[in-house]
Amino acid sequence: MASYVWWWRLMVVIIGSVLMQNPVFSQPQTNLLGRGCSQYNATNLPDFFRRLNASFVDLRNQLSNQDKRFATTQQAVYAMIECRKYLSRADCVSCYDSAVSLIRTCSGANGARVTYDGCFLRYESNNFYQDTTQPGNAEICGNRTSSQSNALSPVALQLLNDLSTATPRISDFFAATKREASGVTVYGVAQCAESITESGCQDCLTVAYKNIEGCLPRYAEGRAVDAACFMRFSDRAFFADNSTTDITPYLGGGGSSNKKKAAIIGGVAGGVGLLLIILAVFLWYRLSRKPKTAERGNILGATELRGPVSYSFKDLKIATKDFNESNKLGEGGFGDVYKGTLKNGNVVAVKKLAIMSSRAKADFETEVRLISNVHHRNLIRLLGCSNKASDLLLVYEYMANGSLERYLYGDRRGMLNWKQRFNIIFGTARGLAYLHEQFHVCIIHRDIKSSNILLDDEFQPKIADFGLVRLLPEDQSHVSTKFAGTLGYTAPEYAIHGHLTEKVDVYGFGVVVLEIISGRRSNHMQETEYLLEQVCSHFQISSSFHIITKFFLPTKLSYSKCTCHFVKIGVEISRSWHACKTGG
């Protein structure tokens, strides 16, 4: 009996020592690194929860039934799950289930995310699949210090640098590896969302590498978490040896075969080197003679979960050269706009608000948080604000091409071709549709006009100045006590009676469509009639524009009653004009 006990104890010691050297990694790694909930709730919560639950079921099925480690779905909300590739199917599903349980505590928030060591779960009301790096990214250092910090730090940095180089070149954007040197072993992993591009993965991991450097040399482990990438190192193994990735082929060096390839490439490059140099000099000469394009503002400054960036009034004052007239881009009912160059070199547009009432100041932060969450390619992005001084300042992305008005009546008049005009009409319509129907509250602009439509570098339209007046809750009409608009673009029911609905913006859009097509200003001081009155009264036009006669003439409609047909008119005129220009 005694010999039996001795044998049992010996087996326990042997198995224990083996496990200490090669620990079993059958656990989901649900150490919480971060959690965030949007500050805004979704509308129609029963329908929202139904679709969110459907998204969670779909993601789980992809992980469990299809053995995936990365999955996306869209059920009126956009959702994504990403597991570390070294997790087993069971551990990945377990990590996901934990993330779902935690993310549900965000209740009706229209966006949320949970990050564990083993997985990352996120959902939003807007498409975020192409997001790469966002402000707020930072290192998350462990609590343990290393007894060999001097030896650990250079090994860890080299490992992380290799991971940031190799991972974007691997098809599934994942690598787990280890490095042994100077008597220490460091384990590391890097991963990017499979929905982004190789360059996006590289950009994200470059930022992650700079962040995670902050954990060295003091700590023995650390992580870097961003919108689309994850990086981790530790002096302790957190994945099995059979899960390591050979990243050597993706580093671009080492091995005799690589040297032979380099020699061949070098010979070819030498043969055409002179031609490339001549071509480069020629291109440099051509480009140097063109005016430089101003660097655009970083439009990732405001995110759905983190809100707008708070800028220092002093920094914005310096950026605009003390709001110098030479930097003035324009002026409007809400205030003047100035071009500003921030310390990091980004060019932005700074609006100095003229609204100084106590009510405006009280609502300023709330409205800014709401506007900064509006993400659409045809809407100007609000990056942040400053309200610490007597002036209220808004910081927007900068549009080098200025406003549509400049290209219709200003110094760039006549430069827009028909394809560009066509794109501007439909891009503006998409932006308005988003404000009215697709954002979680209905935003009515009230002042749609050519000067409030800005053009980016590719002449795509972006609506400016939305959300600076009181917001209208969804599916409700409103009688406004304060008129906000421009005569010639404003619907009579709003200008006269203060009756405010989404149709006020549709009316203004219709006027802008007519301006784009005709090249004539709606309310030019030298004209005796507004453009809209002229269109409604002059109906003797060619048959190619019969749609105008069809809608305007039968009952001699006033321009107030023409409103509901503007979008159709714009589309039909666009098609007719395009056919005429192309000989169709």
- As annotated, the active-site residues are 447
Token pair in block for residue 226: 């961003």
Phi, psi of 247 (to 5 degrees): -95, 0
Asked whether the beta carbons of 382 and 369 are under 8 A apart, the reply is no
Residues 6 or more apart whose Cβ sits within 8 Å of residue 457: 293, 296, 400, 401
DSSP 106: G
Pairwise CA distance, residues 219 & 231, whole Å: 15
Query: Among candidates 26, 175, 33, 174, which has minimal Cα distance to 91?
Result: 26
Measured CA to CA in angstroms, residue 233 lies from 29, 136, 424, 433 at distances of 14, 20, 49, 46
Token pair in block for residue 375: 């993400």
Asked whether the beta carbons of 552 and 535 are under 8 A apart, the reply is yes
DSSP 380: P
Phi, psi of 445 (to 5 degrees): -70, -50
How would you list the strands of the sheet with 309-310, edge to edge? Answer: 309-310, 382-386, 393-397, 347-353, 335-341, 328-332
Cβ atoms within 10 A of the Cβ of 234, count?
A: 21
